[in-house]
Structure 1
Amino acid sequence: MGKVILYNIIRFVILIVLQAALFKNMGYYNLATPFPYILFIFLLPVGLPNLLLFLICFLTGLTLDAFYDSIGVHAAACVVLGLFRISFMRVTIEVDMQNSFITPSLSEMGIKWFLTYISIGTLVHQITVSFVEIFSFTNILYTLAGTIMSSIFTILLILLLSLLIYRKKSRVSNF
C-alpha cells in the first residue's frame, strides 16, 4: 500500500511539472492544447474511496489552476472526470476487482479497455474545460473543433506516456 502511495505522489509531481513547464506552452494554432496531467487521475487505484477520489481530483485541478491562472476551470473538469471514472469503473470492472488497489493501466487492463477508458474520459474532461472556460455557445463549432483536437492531442500523448512506462504483465501459471 505504501508503494502505491509513493508511486502516485511521484506520478503527480512529474505530470504536473510536465504540464506546467512543457505542455502549457504547447498548442496547435491556439486551437488544441494537450492536458496529459489527467493521466494521474486515470491511473489512481481502482479501490480508492469515492470521497478521497473527489478530493484528489479537486486538488489536482486546483494545483493546475494555480499554474494556469484560471479560476476553478481545471478543478471542475477534474471533479467531472472523477465522476466519469467512478461510473465507468462500476460498469466495466468486475465487483471483486473494484475493491482491489490495482492501477487501471495499459498493462493491467489491456489495450481495448484502456483506450476506451482514456478516450471517453479525455473527451469528458475537454468538453468540461471548454464550456466552463468559454461559458458561451456563440462560437459552438470553433469550441467543438478545439475540444476534439485537444482530445486527440491529449489521447495521443497519454498513449505515448503509457507505452513508455508499459510493463508486460507476467503470466506465470500455477501448477
Structure 2
Amino acid sequence: MAVAGILYFLAQVLILKNLVLFGVAFCFLYLMFIILLPMEVKTIPSLLISFVLGLGVDMFYDTMGIHTSALLAVGFVRSRWLRMLVSSGTFDEDMQPTVVNMGLQWFLSYSLPLVLIHHVVFFYVESLGTGLFFDSLQKIIASVIFVTIMSIIVQLLFYRRRRGI
C-alpha cells in the first residue's frame, strides 16, 4: 500500500503537475490513492494518509494547503460513503474498491461523488469566492471527467482482480 502511495505521489508531482487539457481539465490522480484504499481503512487512518499525501502535493504545487484540505474532505467522507454503498458481509473488508474488483457501475457510483467533493473544495478554495463561479464550475466538471477516465485507465492497466479464497 505504501508503494502505491509513493507511486501516485511521484506521478502527480513529476508527470501530471503540468497536465492540463484545454486550460480547464486538471489531472489530480493522486486522489485515487485515497479512494482506492482497502474498505477496512477507517476514517482516522484515512484522514492521516490524506493529510500526509495532500501536504506533500501542496509542497510541490506551492498551493498552501488547498490540496490538503480537499483531500481531507474526501478522507472524511470516504468510509461513510462506503458504508452506505456496501452492505455488511457483501464484500471482503480488505478488498480494494477498484473497477476490476467491483465493476464499472459500482465504481462510478462510489468514486464520482468523492472526486466531485475533492474538486469542489479544491477549486472553490482556490478561487476564494471571488465571483469566479462559472470558471470554477467549468474546471470542476472538466476535471472530474478527466480524473475519472484516467483512473479507470490506470486501474485497467495496473490493478489485478482479487481472487477468491
Q: TM-score, normalised by structure 2?
A: 0.91
**Contact 2:29–2:147 under 8 Å retained in 1:** yes
CA RMSD of aligned residues (A): 1.9
2:141 corresponds in structure 1 to 148
How do residues 71-90 of structure 1 correspond to structure 2 at under 5 angstroms? Answer: 71-90=64-83
CA distance, structure 2, for counterparts of residue 149 and residue 94 of structure 1? 32
Task: Decide which structure has the larger Cα Rg and report it.
Answer: 1
**Contact 1:90–1:98 under 8 Å retained in 2:** no
Structure 2, unpaired ranges of 5+: none
Of 145, 156, 160, which residue of structure 2 is paired with 1:167?
160
Task: State the identity %.
Answer: 28
Deviation per CA, 1:104-145: give whole Å up to 9, x if none: 112222211112222221111111100111111512111101
Alpha-carbon shift at residue 168 of structure 1 (Å): 4.0
How do residues 102-117 of structure 1 correspond to structure 2 at under 5 angstroms? Answer: 102-117=95-110
Q: TM-score, normalised by structure 1?
A: 0.86
CA distance, structure 1, for counterparts of residue 92 and residue 44 of structure 2? 15
Runs of 4+ displaced beyond 6 Å: none
CA distance, structure 2, for counterparts of residue 63 and residue 139 of structure 1? 27
Work out the number of aligned pairs and report it.
165
Structure 1, unpaired ranges of 5+: 1-7
Task: Summarize the Cα distance change of 1:150–1:141 in structure 2 as closer, same or farther, 3 Å threshold.
Answer: same
